[in-house]
Amino acid sequence: MDDEDLWLLRFHPCAEPAARLVCLPHAGGSASYYFPLSRTLSPEVEVLAVQYPGRQNRLREGYAASIDELVDGVHGALEPIARSSDVPLAFFGHSMGAVVAFELARRLPPLHLFVSGRRAPACLRDERQHTLDDAGLLRVLAENGGTHRSVLDNPELRALFLPTIRNDYRLTESYRYTPGPPLGCPITVLTGDADPAVTLDEATAWRGHTSADFDCRVYSGGHFYLEEHAQRIADLLRVRLVKPSSPQA
C-alpha cells in the first residue's frame, strides 16, 4: 500500500474537479468525519480525507509521536498528487487538524487554507488535558461535544477511543509554533461563538500568518459548531474554491 492509499481516502472520486480539498480531522477524529462534506461538495470539489494512524483502517498502527510526524506522512502522500496534477489543492483542518493543515501549508503551499476551531499558532495556552484521568477526559469530551453519547457510555468503545484522544491531545498540547514567514495563500478562519477552546482574539490572530487575504467567520455554537452549520460551511467552501472571484458567501 502506497502513502496515498494509507493516508488519504476519496469517498466520492471526481473526474474533473475544480479543486481538491484536503480535510484534516480533529483530535480523536478520523477521515470518515468528512464523508458528509465530501458528498455535498462533489463533483465540483473532490475531498481527500486524511486518515491518521491508530484509528479505523489504521487501527493496528502505532500513534504518531508528534505533529511533525503527522505532517510528514500527509506531505508524503500529497506531494506526488500536487506534482502530477493541475488541479489545485486547498486545506481544511478542524481543531488539531488546523495545526496539521497550517504546518502542511508551510511545506506545500495551497490554493487556500481553511482553519476551524483552533487559535492561531502563535497563541500559546498551557493545556494539559492529556494528563487527566479517564473520568476527567470524558468530562472534557462531553463538554466539547462532537463525540456520540453511545461512544462515551460504552466501556468497550471507550477502551478503544480514550487512548487515541489522549495521544492526540498530547500532540496538540506539546506543539510549539516556530516563527517564520507568513503564508502566501488566503486564510479563512471559522469559529464558534461559544467555543471554550478559541476566543475571538485568538481566532483573528491568524491574520498575522498570511500575506494574502484573510477572513474570519463566526458561527453560533461551541467547539463543534460546524455540525450545526454544515450546509453554510459547504457553501462557503464551494464559493472560495470553485468561484474564487465571486462575492463572499
Which long-range CB contacts under 8 A does 134-138 form with residues at least 24 apart? Answer: 134/158, 134/162, 137/162, 137/165, 137/166, 137/169, 138/162
Angle formed by the axes of helices 155-174 and 134-144, nearest 10°: 80
Residues marked as catalytic: 95, 223
Report DSSP state, residue 182. P
Q: Is 89 helix (H, G, I), strand (E, B) or coil?
A: strand
Helix, strand, coil abundance in the chain, percent, nearest 5: 45, 15, 40
